[in-house]
Amino acid sequence: MRTQIAAANWKMNLTFQQGEKLLDDILAAEIKLKDHQKTIFAVPYPYLTMTRSEVAEEKNYYAASQNCYHKKSGAYTGEVSVEMLHSLNINYCVVGHSERREYFLETNVILADKVNLCLESFIAPIFCCGEALAIREAGTQNEFVTKQLEESLFHLTAEQIKGIVIAYEPIWAIGTGKTATTAQAQEMHAHLRSVIASKYGEAIANQVPILYGGSVKANNAKELFSCPDVDGGLVGGASLVAADFIEIIRSLK
């Protein structure tokens, strides 16, 4: 079975103390993950060391960065490099979240650079893709996400693409309370897998985890994760509530 992942994205929320308590409460549930399951906490930069320490003794629990800079090093005040993340033993980094694309104007080319730097430092990118409401309403969402994959990932080798986690974000369903139906989620995830297969073959495509990232909640996670091509979720708001995220972890296939 492909790796199944419950990934929390705290975004710019919680104080250090609140984040520490949230992790304590989630880990207190003592959910024993199976070999093919992972739980990942994408936390703000100041909490990375604390999070890594909290999960250090837990099997298949990891800390992730929410972002990295697209240059290796240099005079970029306030930015955080992949090398810095690697020096903290961080295993994952979210790349290209819709908020980064929209608010910070990150392009597919910039994201390709971030992916390259992550892989060079043995950090697995959680690569986000997805369409806004206008694109969905125009019926061009498949072409849109195909271009995102082609321009940011398709320079990679087959071996490298196996080290990527993809997160599909229907932007129209993030923070709006709207959620894609299970049929819509499965349809897009199957399309993404077919796009990867067209470049790298079905055997490789069937090894790449594709997460759903649009308003995953405790009461819809099991249904969403039951879709054949949905391999878990990248969870925003619900990951800030211990009871909700615990239920989401338990919903993994």
Q: What is the pTM of this model?
A: 0.96
Alpha carbon distance 97, 100 (integer Å): 5
pLDDT per residue rounded down to tens, the chain (253 residues): 899 999 999 999 999 999 999 999 999 999 999 999 999 999 999 999 999 999 999 999 999 999 999 999 999 999 999 999 999 999 999 999 999 999 999 999 999 999 999 999 999 999 999 999 889 889 999 999 999 999 999 999 999 999 999 999 998 877 666 667 899 999 999 999 999 999 999 999 999 999 999 889 999 999 999 999 999 999 999 999 999 999 999 999 9
With both helix axes pointing from N to C terminus, report the angle between 16-27 and 48-55 in degrees, rounded to the nearest 10.
20
**What's the one-letter identity of residue 240?**
L
Q: Which residues, other chains included, contact 209 with Cβ-Cβ below 8 Å and sequence gap of 6+? A: 2, 3, 4, 5, 165, 166, 231, 232
CA–centroid distance for 248 within its chain:
15
CA distances from 24 to 29, 50, 218 (A): 9, 11, 19
In the chain, count of helices (H) and strands (E)?
Answer: 12, 8
pLDDT at 175: 64
Alpha carbon distance 145, 194 (integer Å): 12
Question: What radius of gyration do the chain's Cα atoms show?
Answer: 17
Domain parsing of the chain, residue ranges: 4-250
Topology, domain 4-250? TIM Barrel (3.20.20)
User: Which tokens go with 112?
Assistant: 């390709």
Burial 231-243 (b: 16+ CB within 10 A, else e): bbbbbbbbbbbbe
pLDDT at 161: 98
With both helix axes pointing from N to C terminus, report the angle between 141-153 and 182-200 in degrees, rounded to the nearest 10.
40
Which residues are catalytically annotated? 97, 169
pLDDT at 173: 76
pLDDT at 1: 87
